[in-house]
Structure 1
Amino acid sequence: MIPIRCYTCGRVIIHYYDEFQRRVRNGEDPGKVLDDLKIDRYCCRRTLLATVDTTKDIIKFSKHVYRW
């Protein structure tokens, strides 16, 4: 699941997630991307780096959403 806030300090980080993922998928260095996004707290950096989006895996088991 994508975190809305940093688990340690409580800073809202959800609005950085899409930009971070897009730029990392395009081949940029994750540390450089976090620096460009002005995320300098190590707890917030850790949270974004360690997040694994499992939504697509979980949604397969929902009868109401998964209809393929």
Structure 2
Amino acid sequence: MMVPVRCFSCGTVVGEHWEAFKARAETHDGDEDPADVLDDLGVDRHCCRRMLIAHQDLVDVVSPYQ
């Protein structure tokens, strides 16, 4: 669904980094390495990095069924 606002493990705010991460790491032309993007954004903890890397944006898929 929507990216969580805070990390499930440590409680650090990770939702503010989602748009920048998505724009830089998931483009189809000249993808940047997700690890480098997260380093630039200042996301250092493994648990927080997991929150952004593993997230699947399903809002558009689920919204027709509401």
Superposition TM-score, scaled by structure 1 size: 0.85
2:16 maps to a residue whose letter is: H
1:18 maps to a residue whose letter is: E
Distance 2:26 2:51 in 1: 17
1:60 maps to a residue whose letter is: P
Specify the structure having the higher radius of gyration (Cα). 1
Q: Structure 1 segments of 4 or more deviating over 3 A?
A: none
Unaligned runs of 5+ in 2: none
Distance 1:38 1:13 in 2: 10
Partner of residue 9, structure 2: 8
- 5 Å-filtered alignment, 1:43-58, equals 43-58=47-62
Aligned residues: 62
Two-structure CA RMSD over aligned residues (Å): 0.8
Superposition TM-score, scaled by structure 2 size: 0.88
